[in-house]
Structure 1
Amino acid sequence: MELNNLKSAPGARKARRRVGRGIGSGLGKTAGRGHKGQKSRAGGYHKVGFEGGQMPLQRRLPKRGFKSQSLKFNGEVTLTSLEKLGAAEVDLLTLKQAGLVGEMIKNVKVIKSGELKRAVKLTGIGATAGAKAAIEAAGGSLA
């Protein structure tokens, strides 16, 4: 095989569309653009969402809702998951290594869901009022 013998596979190189080159091409006269209207003109097009001057849908509907960007840095841990963890002292790094919170989490709060029987010392972690009572009842503490 030589470089001068190389050839594309049949049908691999499709001829480009030659518009406005006579009736025999099938794309003569209006060149596939139809008759009249903004879309038939050269340079005649509009921005996304434009509805011909009618008030666009995204402007007709009311503004609604808000999602805080700080939510992705806040995490929560249940009393049940603290029980399963089985560590005497728990901090943010311990929770990340155990996979209970994501890597991006900066603030963690313990919520009262389930039961806690062993004493756990929390450092740098917040807790709800109910969770705090449950932790202290089990002999644990918050620092």
Structure 2
Amino acid sequence: MPSVLSWMAAPLRLLARPTVRAGTSAMALPRIPMATYATVSPVRVGNLTPAQPKKNRKRLGRGDGSGRGGTSTRGHKGQKARSGNGKPKPGFEGGQTPLTRLIPKRGFVNSHAQTLVPLNVDRLQYWIDQGRLNPAEPITIRELYQSRCIHRVADGVKLLGDGASHLTTPIQIVVSRASQSAIKAVEAAGGSIVCRYYNATSLRALLQPHKWLLKNKPLPHFADPVSKRDLLWYSSPNNRGYLALRDAQERAAANAADSAGAPRR
């Protein structure tokens, strides 16, 4: 029976190079298998294994048979024992006064305030002179936005009277609001102005009507203001509000019906 040392010395004999005797050729030598690094699989990231066995991951929520009980190491009915409403909200600091309430606040923020994009009449005349706006057709917020006379809409557009002397073209314009100097400048040039109320849906339908047309849905109706302040402002003829214009048209139609003797609707 071979000894243990003979088995250990066998790989060494394979690596030993045979000596070539005198008078013999190299082709006559027998081929001896040699153990090289090429015969071993290359070392890669996928072949690496830890020296010690890996730790099994903790599997939670598998009942008493998992060895961690039915509560999955979360205890019994505490604030963080379950998922959902038991978790504290962001900013909760354990019951003490949170930082957002601890810091004093200064000033006032009106939650009902509207952001109107300003537009001066001299810029309007400059766009007409360049041919970007057609004064023969009514000019609305859509034409102003598509011609890049304004770059955003926000909650509406307010026409201002800066450069009133430059406005010489009669126009028909419909905006959200207008100053008294802008109204005088537009009417002095022979044009007309109407201030109309727009909410978020009305503005979206005015600027992008294709979103409703592609879905075969009718365009939403223009909403009337709800707050008392807006109702009074758009009902004033001095502000050229559309509600005042509507009332004037209804009274004119009623007077014409009375004069003609036709029954009222």
- TM-score normalised to structure 2 length: 0.31
Alignment-derived partner of residue 110 in structure 2: 66
Contact 2:121 2:162 in 1 (8 A): yes
What is the identity percentage for the equivalent residue pairs of Structure 1 and Structure 2?
A: 24
Task: Tell me the equivalent position of 1:10.
Answer: 45
Q: Which residue matches 1:76?
A: 118
Alignment of 1:99 onto 2:148: yes
Determine the structure 2 residue equivalent to 1:136. 187
**5+ unaligned residues in a row in structure 1: which ranges?**
1-8, 20-42
Structure with larger RCO (C-alpha < 8 A, sep 6+) = 1
- What does residue 124 of structure 1 align with? 174
Once the two structures are TM-superposed, the CA of residue 131 in structure 1 deviates from its matched residue by: 1.2
Deviation at 1:75, TM superposition (A): 3.6
Stretches of structure 2 lacking an aligned partner (at least 5 in a row):
1-43, 57-79, 82-86, 129-133, 194-265
Q: For residue 61 of structure 1, report the CA deviation from its aligned partner.
A: 4.1
RMSD: 4.0
Distance 1:104 1:51 in 2: 41
Matched to 2:100, the amino acid is: Q
Hey, what's the Cα distance between the residues in 1 that align with 2:183 and 2:101? 47
SS in 2 for 1:77: strand
- Quote the offset at 1:83 in angstroms: 1.4
> Normalising by structure 1, what TM-score?
0.51
Using the alignment, how far apart are the partners of 2:96 and 2:155 within structure 1? 47
| Paired letter, 1:83 | Q
Tell me the number of residue pairs that the alignment of Structure 1 and Structure 2 aligns: 108
Residue in 1 that maps onto 2:94? 52
Larger radius of gyration: 2
